Structure 1
Amino acid sequence: MTTANTTNPANTHGAPRVSVLIPCAPRQRYLEETLLSIQKQTFQDWEVVLVLDGECEENRRMAAVLPADRIRIVVTARPRSGAAAARNAGLPECRGDLVAFCDGDDLCEPERLARQVAEFDRRPTLGMLATWSRRFASDTGADLGPLHGPTESQALARRLLLFNPVTTSTVMVRPEAVREAGDFRDAAKNCEDYDLWLRILGRAEVAALPEELVRYRVHEGQNSRRAKLLPQSGLLRREKVAAARRLGVSVPVTRIKHLAWVGVQVANRRW
């Protein structure tokens, strides 16, 4: 079931340039703040595709903070389908030639879309572009420090072969890069984002901007996925090896680094 509008005030000639895809669980208390951060973007040729992972009148009321012709609502066929299914439900509804991911509790800085669109315009081979981000405490607003990673394409690709330095809410993609990689996968529960990044590697260029353009919310009750990755170790290893082959990187070294990464997670009791 979908509700969708066919006009966008920032683009009177058809589809908007950017679709902001936001999956949302029922009773997402921070959704209005997230949507307002999109409304304040300096780049205004956008639409929001909001995926309700289960019908929720409270979320619909918060969605009304945006003009009706700037937001399109998709409801998943099965409630609580999970992040992968929710994003996959929203992707076909995205009309933009670029898709920006954003979770329903994070905040985008006003220049986020403008900076990323400009970089895509400058680099036609780019398929996925992340940014740096900054964590903050939801209850107090206290700064919890930066989340920085490599920005240059080769360095970011090599880091992704070791672990995931990318915050999902910072990522903008060309939709065809996601389709060619096979979309998000339900089988990669709790690491569906990392799984997709690995499958994009070697199929499209990846990079990141060295700017903190997203504020990543840390709050009580937030889903911590670190403790749930052990069942996915084999899946991630296979995708790392496949990506290494596409990139022409040593497969034996990739396997050894993956084992080292597993050891670190176990030692830190993240599994």
Structure 2
Amino acid sequence: MRSNAGLVSDLEVHRVHPLPKFSLVLATVGRVELVERFLKSVAAQGYPNLEVLVADQNTDERLTPLIKRLSHRLSIRHLRPPLGLSRARNAALRHVTGDVVAFPDDDSVYPPELLHRVAHTLAKYPGIGGLVGCPVVHETGAPFRGFGRQAVDLTHRNVWSLTSSIGLFLRADTVEMVGSFDESLGLGAGTPWGSNEDRDYPLRAIDLGVRIRYEPSIRVEHPIGDYGNHRQAFSYGAGLGRVLRLRATRLSDVAALVVVRPLGGLALSLLRGRWSAATFYLHSLRGRIYGWRAPLVNEDRSQAPDLSPIHPE
């Protein structure tokens, strides 16, 4: 039976809905041990219906022995896409065969029962096009800054604080509708915009009328950020500023995300004597301002990368 809220009862979930197949798109470069840790966390799920598409951007064969060693425990497809996070994901999307597509980082970890929990939640809310979970610090289990405790639908306003690619679990038809990641965004893009491809993507889904639910009980582990990586702080900040320039609808949201938050982090770090963190926030502030102020050569994205729907081979 359905409640007034349109939910499906737990009894219906278990009786009616078979377990969906997950396609885990894992873009990676330069890492082996962390990739092994992630793949082992997937194998430990005990989930019977999944595939891992390893989008390997290395120029050598460092991952080949690992993939061969784990191939008896997991269905792994080893792909060799071009360099760049969004390009690698787009190449992998052409090979997905699952019902639900996820985008873990190569240094993330899936806690026990995560995939069963996601499958159960998607079955409970058949009207949504996907879920986004809460990233938590691998070492402590603490939620990342800004991620709330209340389950809500994503909107054009809250997507900035409630979205991370490691927590995205999208139905395949949602991915088919939205299409490719914007290849001008994300690590390795060859542009200053080193992040926020994972906010641009659900925003485009929302534009199409797709409901995506933020569910804080869905937790994905990730290491804490490196406050010593100032180049990355600037690049990530520039990516946020860029996507805000393209997509934000309220000046108050821009002011909060571009100026207020990094200034708050800078001030708090200085008060606590955390000089490296303070410098990190300073570079992030510079990047956000740079990304916001940079000229938009193609305001209408007429010459942007191809964002047409993905059609699996």
CA contact under 8 A between 1:36 and 1:65: conserved in structure 2? no
Letter in 1 for 2:238: L
**Structure 2 CA distance, aligned partners of 1:210 and 1:196?**
20
> 1:263 corresponds to which residue?
259
Give the percent of matched residue pairs that are identical in Structure 1 and Structure 2. 23
> 1:152 corresponds to which residue?
151
> 2:173 corresponds to which residue?
176
CA contact under 8 A between 2:117 and 2:218: conserved in structure 1? no
> 1:198 corresponds to which residue?
203
**Structure 2 CA distance, aligned partners of 1:222 and 1:105?**
16
**Structure 2 CA distance, aligned partners of 1:212 and 1:36?**
19
**Structure 2 CA distance, aligned partners of 1:28 and 1:202?**
37
Letter in 2 for 1:261: L
Greater CA drift, 164-173 or 43-52: 164-173
CA contact under 8 A between 2:57 and 2:88: conserved in structure 1? yes
Show the 5 A alignment for 1:11-26. Answer: 17-26=21-30
Higher share of residues assigned strand: 1
> 1:218 corresponds to which residue?
224
Letter in 2 for 1:160: N
| TM superposition shift of 1:218 | 3.0
CA contact under 8 A between 1:47 and 1:71: conserved in structure 2? yes
- Relative to structure 1, is the Cα distance of residues 111 and 222 closer, same or farther in structure 2, using a 3 angstrom cutoff? farther
The reply on whether 1:227 has 2:239 as its aligned counterpart is no
Letter in 1 for 2:55: V
Secondary structure of residue in 2 paired with 1:49: strand
**Structure 1 CA distance, aligned partners of 2:64 and 2:203?**
34
CA deviation string 1:54-86 (max 9, x = no partner): 34322122223422561111111x3xx211111
TM-score, L = length of structure 2: 0.66
CA RMSD of superposed structures (Å): 2.7
| TM superposition shift of 1:158 | 5.4
Q: Could you say which structure has the larger radius of gyration?
A: 2
TM-score, L = length of structure 1: 0.76
**Structure 2 CA distance, aligned partners of 1:186 and 1:159?**
23
CA deviation string 1:7-31 (max 9, x = no partner): xxxxxxxxx7111111111334311
Letter in 2 for 1:209: E
- Relative to structure 1, is the Cα distance of residues 234 and 131 closer, same or farther in structure 2, using a 3 angstrom cutoff? closer
| TM superposition shift of 1:152 | 3.1
CA contact under 8 A between 2:196 and 2:243: conserved in structure 1? no
> 1:74 corresponds to which residue?
79
- Relative to structure 1, is the Cα distance of residues 225 and 179 closer, same or farther in structure 2, using a 3 angstrom cutoff? farther
| TM superposition shift of 1:231 | 5.9
Show the 5 A alignment for 1:1-271. Answer: 17-67=21-71, 70-76=75-81, 78=82, 81-136=83-138, 142-143=139-140, 145-147=142-144, 148-149=147-148, 151-154=150-153, 156-157=154-155, 159-161=157-159, 163-189=160-186, 190-203=195-208, 204-211=210-217, 213-218=219-224, 225-228=232-235, 229-230=237-238, 233-241=241-249, 254-265=250-261, 267=263, 268=266, 269=282, 270=284, 271=287
CA contact under 8 A between 1:164 and 1:194: conserved in structure 2? no
CA contact under 8 A between 1:130 and 1:170: conserved in structure 2? yes
Secondary structure of residue in 1 paired with 2:55: strand
> 2:297 corresponds to which residue?
none
**Structure 2 CA distance, aligned partners of 1:109 and 1:144?**
10
Which ranges in structure 2 are unaligned for 5 or more consecutive residues?
Answer: 1-19, 187-194, 267-281, 288-313
Which ranges in structure 1 are unaligned for 5 or more consecutive residues?
Answer: 1-15, 137-141, 242-253
**Structure 1 CA distance, aligned partners of 2:225 and 2:66?**
19
- Relative to structure 1, is the Cα distance of residues 225 and 172 closer, same or farther in structure 2, using a 3 angstrom cutoff? farther
